[in-house]
Amino acid sequence: MKTLQKKIFITGKIKTLTGLHIGGHNTHLDIGGVDSFVIRNPKNDEPYLPGSSLKGKVRSLLEQSYGTFGDANMKEVKHGPIDDPKHPITRLFGSVKGRNKDSQKNIPARIIVRDGSILSEDSDNTDLPYTEVKTEIIVDRITAAASPRQIERVPADSEFKLDIVLNIWSDSSDFQELPEAQIVQMLFNGMRLIEGDYLGGNGSRGSGQIKIGIEEIKERDNTFYQNMEAGNNTHYQDSAHQIPEDLKIWA
């Protein structure tokens, strides 16, 4: 059986370089109001960055980079996560039972991406608390009639918390482990890919350009969790993995 060796904790910030739209529920619609809202924390009404959005986008871009974005089956192209249990992306992001032919076992994800709370404090100089309203015009290509729509976005220069955990497990006969260095490098490559792409919706229309800044990389090995006692305040260990220069936190 696989055994946990350590947890690697990667923390930092995500900065919006252009407006960011990750859709939420439209709980109420006003005539002439916003057509598409951003997702917000119901407790404090602050926008946040869903970990599922960041994780899914990184996986999708890595699959494109590896040339495995969707697979062809009976002349149908299926776009979605690859399920080859031997592929590095599957072994990093996991796979659901029964979706691959080679194995009927679940492949657990090694990566945890937590929701990122907004770090920006200025909520008074925006159209809505912490957000702006962008008006876009849809033009009918037949009649040339213009229909405006309003989209809520977190404005440029906003910052969100980055919090990622990587689980490093031991190898076993029924579980192929990825080398630790490969796991970390794949994550770094995914971060670079998303910086060259976009996050959220409306990316082809200018939204969603981001910058990722890693502040620190810490570790805790399995002995900490096995021997932890009440009141144990053991600090995290410094990681041997270095933050790449292009992904370091900004001043």
Query: How is the chain split into domains, by residue range?
Result: 4-247
Integer Cα distance of 204 and 116 in angstroms: 23
Position 32 scores a pLDDT of 46
Position 243 scores a pLDDT of 97
* Under 8 Å between Cβ of 71 and 80: no
Position 85 scores a pLDDT of 77
Position 55 scores a pLDDT of 96
Supply the pTM of this predicted model: 0.84
Segments of the chain scoring below 70 in pLDDT: 1, 24-35, 69-81, 97-104, 171-177, 228-234
Position 57 scores a pLDDT of 95
